[in-house]
Amino acid sequence: MAYLTCPWCLTPQLVGDESVEYACFTCAAQNAFFACTECGYRQTVSKRWTAFTCAKCEKKVDLPRRWGYSVGTPAMTVEGHGQPWPKF
């Protein structure tokens, strides 16, 4: 199991290693995992976002309109959580 932080409410929770998405138990956000297209940093993002700010290189990264196993990255490889774009 991976222990991941929700990008909305910052509550950490357990997610199955093979999962590519999950719903936050605390705020019900639909989250998924995505690798930054600039630096490859794998992070949790909200599926409602159209883009996010990479937590590592701070670049804007566009998110896919449709999520699936081909675009996501499994929970066990996730290293952090992304921030909204534009940043709050």
Q: Binding to Zn ion by residue 41, rule CB under 5 A? A: yes
- Sorted by sequence, the CB contacts under 8 Å of residue 74 that are 6+ apart come out as 17, 18, 19, 20, 33
In the region spanning residues 47 to 76, those forming contacts with Zn ion, defined by CB under 5 A, are: 54, 56-57
For Zn ion, which residue of 2, 4, 20, 24 counts as binding (CB under 5 A)?
24
Q: Binding to Zn ion by residue 8, rule CB under 5 A? A: yes
Segment lying near Zn ion (by CB under 5 A), choices 14-22, 36-44, 45-53, 68-76: 36-44
Binding-site size, Zn ion (CB under 5 A)? 14
Identity of the residue, 54 or 63, whose beta carbon is nearer to Zn ion in the bound complex = 54
Q: How far is the CB of 46 from Zn ion (least distance, A)?
A: 9
Identity of the residue, 20 or 22, whose beta carbon is nearer to Zn ion in the bound complex = 22
